[in-house]
Chain A
């Protein structure tokens, strides 16, 4: 018989409750994303500051495993290393919505099958880049920096090529990560 602890004297779990493994995963994956940024492991693609950003797969996987509350931690850590004022809201909202919340539904559909997990995870990545990243940055820059909303259009197209390369690289890296992850850590931990 497997033992279960007596729960009668335990405090009620609040909305913000995270288990120790959720905290561990959120902190570790967020720290990995941040360490990659600070270590300069970004691949420049050319002038204009376009880079392939290998921290993203770690942020995505960390957020997916730890749920929306854990994704706040992951998003903060992933965003704090580079121009945090814009990156933190970007990462927190993006990681929470697409991976923190979205992955639970994707995982239900996959029933633990690795190929489906990789497919589902990469499908979640598509709207993250095409809807969120390519809209957030042009909108933020156009409205807050240039104060010229029509700038959204040229900014969108200037982001698009770099974004697509980054998306493909992220999909490749996260497919590797998901394959290597022990099976118990492919399941959302919340």
Chain B
């Protein structure tokens, strides 16, 4: 009988681990040393490409047995070296949750999904039943028992996937960006499910996340990765002291910590590092209390940019209704005017009607009632092909939009469909590829490019049609902070050159940083239309649509005694607080 050596007292240990994928020259992991105790909650963060997912996959054996390559060093899970285990054995101890909810669902109903893992383990039917009941309650999935998981919302799907893991009773949970693809409700659903699980089961949890501020008060340890290495590790407060370093590697540091660190540096005091907005408010309030504060009248009012008045709006919707088959009213009496040169963000949860609305602008959907005018002409009398000359659309997943084997051919696809000559198509494609910074990859297969480059190819495809209006759908979903801002910076440039930009998003910090105008949608109606600064003060409306302002704004509102206006970004808040104190 073969005896397995018990190699470590830690739940998970990495000893000098490096890994290079088979088709890659550059190692994805470089000399990782890591020890995670039983019952510990660990947050791992880092920009895209840092190696976080690779690290996660090492723990359950997907690396190197499914994702093949050269693995050196030792990964020890529950005392056993993964080099001597199979994925089948490791998956009985490690539950791995992936970023994309739908990708990990394989069953026709929620109950079948929860049963799938225990069935593979050969567990008796009665025991499977008990585990299903547990997961249904823990993940609040009881209303969806016989639903097809494909019909659930993103948050519900992710909760289902997590419940499916919980039913296997793993020792270690590894959650790889569980909220990355989700809207705020979905994120909140999943994060409370994770919290519930952590509290109830007291198991080891390794969570990879970009949304650091949501988790820092929950975890014991925080690790920051960049380019395959762990560059920082320690208790969250220790790590968050280095907010500048976090920003340098392309992460968005929690606003409360950034503000405290900057004030501490500016005034030479020790404020400590808050983990939540409440803590941040306490620390800043205590610091400012008793200090002499400049009167508000000495501050120059931050200008609210109101709706630009133009003669002919480029996009106009009048009394627009849209009803999907099955009597689903997705849009209810929507009126909207978008001026030329506008930079507008349409915000709302999934299902609020944002995408349904913009699909009317290029004819992908037609009104059930009401009219839509593009540049003064009714869309009723125009085909989608005709409208695509005026309204360009960049959809979420670039892989859905790539059709050709060369980048330049990809970009020429649209103009060719419009009937332009080969010379004209080439000229347009070359120009837009230069504009988006991809002139060096024109002959490459777009499918082989990195995520960020693919996104820019897709943007170039829309721009090659020379539309007056560019609609960008959810630029932050599945993207890290740095990448989503790259696309938005490009959009700002295009706006300065005269394009009208419409961004669909549920990311309120994106709205704060870029949009001149915000349209808040909920259940098919427009609740608010105006500048972001004013939108963030409409707390009741935001609450109704399950959105909240960016954390910097919330913190600024709490500190209203010291901050005379609604701030949009962390920098604005720091600036306002700095000027407050004489």
Name A residues whose Cβ lies closer than 8 Å to a Cβ of B: 1-10, 20, 179-180
Tell whether, in the assembled complex, residue A2 and residue B71 are in contact, meaning their CB atoms are under 8 Å apart: yes
Is B85 located at the chain interface by the 8 A CB criterion? yes
Q: Which residues of B contact A4 (CB under 8 A)?
A: 83
Tell whether, in the assembled complex, residue A8 and residue B2 are in contact, meaning their CB atoms are under 8 Å apart: yes
How far is A43 from B19 in the complex, measured between Cα atoms in Å? 48
For the residues of A in contact with B, the DSSP-based class is loop
Known contacts A1-B72, A5-B84, A7-B86; 17 further A-B pairs (Cβ under 8 A): A1-B70, A2-B64, A2-B68, A2-B69, A2-B70, A3-B64, A3-B65, A3-B71, A3-B82, A4-B83, A5-B61, A5-B65, A5-B83, A5-B86, A8-B2, A20-B66, A180-B405
10 intermolecular pairs with C-beta atoms under 8 Å apart: A1-B70, A2-B68, A2-B69, A2-B71, A3-B64, A3-B65, A6-B85, A7-B86, A9-B2, A180-B447
How far is A2 from B67 in the complex, measured between Cα atoms in Å? 12
A19 (CB) vs chain B CBs: closest residue: B66
B66 (CB) vs chain A CBs: closest residue: A20
A11 (CB) vs chain B CBs: closest residue: B88
Cβ contacts B157-196/A at 8 Å (1 or 0 each): 0000000000000000000000000000000000000000
A179 (CB) vs chain B CBs: closest residue: B405
Tell whether, in the assembled complex, residue B2 and residue A5 are in contact, meaning their CB atoms are under 8 Å apart: no
Tell whether, in the assembled complex, residue B83 and residue A3 are in contact, meaning their CB atoms are under 8 Å apart: yes
State the Cβ distance, B106 to closest chain A Cβ, in Å.
8
Q: Which residues of A contact B65 (CB under 8 A)?
A: 3, 5
For the residues of B in contact with A, the DSSP-based class is mixed
How far is A6 from B89 in the complex, measured between Cα atoms in Å? 11
**9 cross-chain pairs, A with B, having the tightest CB-CB distances, nearest first:** A3-B83, A5-B86, A6-B84, A3-B71, A3-B64, A2-B70, A5-B85, A5-B65, A8-B2
Cβ contacts B74-91/A at 8 Å (1 or 0 each): 000000001111111000
How far is A10 from B70 in the complex, measured between Cα atoms in Å? 23
How far is A4 from B85 in the complex, measured between Cα atoms in Å? 9
How far is A7 from B86 in the complex, measured between Cα atoms in Å? 8
The winner among A1, A2, A7 for most chain B CB atoms within 10 A is A2
B86 in complex: contacting residue of A1, A10, A180, CB < 8 Å: A10
State the Cβ distance, B92 to closest chain A Cβ, in Å.
13
How far is A16 from B85 in the complex, measured between Cα atoms in Å? 24
Q: Which residues of A contact B64 (CB under 8 A)?
A: 2-3
A182 (CB) vs chain B CBs: closest residue: B447
Q: Which residues of A contact B66 (CB under 8 A)?
A: 20
Q: Which residues of A contact B71 (CB under 8 A)?
A: 2-3
B85 (CB) vs chain A CBs: closest residue: A5
Q: Which residues of A contact B85 (CB under 8 A)?
A: 5-6
How far is A8 from B88 in the complex, measured between Cα atoms in Å? 14
Q: Which residues of B contact A20 (CB under 8 A)?
A: 66
Q: Which residues of B contact A6 (CB under 8 A)?
A: 2, 84-86
Q: Which residues of A contact B405 (CB under 8 A)?
A: 179-180
Q: Which residues of A contact B70 (CB under 8 A)?
A: 1-2
How far is A6 from B83 in the complex, measured between Cα atoms in Å? 8
State the Cβ distance, A1 to closest chain B Cβ, in Å.
8
State the Cβ distance, B73 to closest chain A Cβ, in Å.
10
How far is A10 from B86 in the complex, measured between Cα atoms in Å? 9
Q: Which residues of A contact B82 (CB under 8 A)?
A: 3
State the Cβ distance, B222 to closest chain A Cβ, in Å.
29
Q: Which residues of B contact A180 (CB under 8 A)?
A: 405, 447
State the Cβ distance, A81 to closest chain B Cβ, in Å.
16
How far is A20 from B85 in the complex, measured between Cα atoms in Å? 17
B71 (CB) vs chain A CBs: closest residue: A3
How far is A1 from B65 in the complex, measured between Cα atoms in Å? 13
A3 (CB) vs chain B CBs: closest residue: B83
State the Cβ distance, A21 to closest chain B Cβ, in Å.
8
How far is A20 from B120 in the complex, measured between Cα atoms in Å? 13
How far is A8 from B86 in the complex, measured between Cα atoms in Å? 11
Cβ contacts B100-119/A at 8 Å (1 or 0 each): 00000000000000000000
Q: Which residues of B contact A1 (CB under 8 A)?
A: 70, 72
How far is A181 from B405 in the complex, measured between Cα atoms in Å? 11
How far is A163 from B66 in the complex, measured between Cα atoms in Å? 40
How far is A5 from B69 in the complex, measured between Cα atoms in Å? 14
State the Cβ distance, A63 to closest chain B Cβ, in Å.
20
How far is A128 from B83 in the complex, measured between Cα atoms in Å? 45
How far is A74 from B87 in the complex, measured between Cα atoms in Å? 26
State the Cβ distance, B566 to closest chain A Cβ, in Å.
48
Q: Which residues of A contact B69 (CB under 8 A)?
A: 2
How far is A3 from B2 in the complex, measured between Cα atoms in Å? 19
State the Cβ distance, A179 to closest chain B Cβ, in Å.
7
The winner among A5, A7, A9 for most chain B CB atoms within 10 A is A5
Cβ contacts B44-79/A at 8 Å (1 or 0 each): 000000000000000001001110111110000000
State the Cβ distance, A36 to closest chain B Cβ, in Å.
16
Q: Which residues of B contact A8 (CB under 8 A)?
A: 2
